Amino acid sequence: DFEDFDFNQYNMEVNKLIEIDSQNTNALTTYLKSHDFPKISEIGRRNVEGLIFMLIHAEDTNQMKTYLPLIEKRCLEGEAEWMPWAMMHDKLRQLQHLPQEYGMQSVFINAEKTQLQLYKLDNLDAVNARRRSIGLGPINDPEEITHIRRE
């Protein structure tokens, strides 16, 4: 029952979270200078996914360019998941102000940050063909707005 749960212990200042993200990313990139990108069979599915999300959240385009091909190789080996790879691929394109190719990134469309919409897409038919090729379902309505409740 979450009504009685004290979430205060999980509240942190955004700057503290950014600092922790930065420390984690630095540790990961230091590790990757002398090691291959970890495999699912070595550290587990969720851990590999978490490492990919760390690289996405760092928003470092050079790192993404370096690691995307290595992660793609892991995906082809069955040692990483396609969904987080596609998220990184599209995040890189978004940071480069290019249309995304898998439809994995959304952006806020209002100042209150309560409405999200897909970041601009490449041709919808081509996006859906790419999504199918890696096991993702189609995007039916790229204009759909997702509403986020803020309390």
- The answer, as to whether pTM is greater than 0.75, is yes
**Element of type H or E holding 107:** strand 106-108
Question: pLDDT: is 4 or 30 the higher one?
Answer: 30
Chain segment 58-70, per-residue pLDDT in tens: 899 999 999 999 9
**150, β-bridge pairs:** none
Q: Which amino acid is at 82?
A: W
Instruction: Tell me how far CA of residue 1 lies from CA of 6, 10, 49, 149, in angstroms.
Output: 11, 17, 29, 21
At 17, is the pLDDT very low, low, confident or very high (cuts 50, 70, 90)?
A: confident
C-alpha span between 68 and 11 (Å, rounded): 32
Question: Other C-beta atoms within 10 Å of 41: how many?
Answer: 11
C-alpha span between 19 and 60 (Å, rounded): 15
Chain segment 58-116, per-residue pLDDT in tens: 899 999 999 999 999 999 999 999 999 999 999 999 999 999 999 999 999 998 888 99
At 22, is the pLDDT very low, low, confident or very high (cuts 50, 70, 90)?
A: confident
C-alpha span between 60 and 30 (Å, rounded): 14
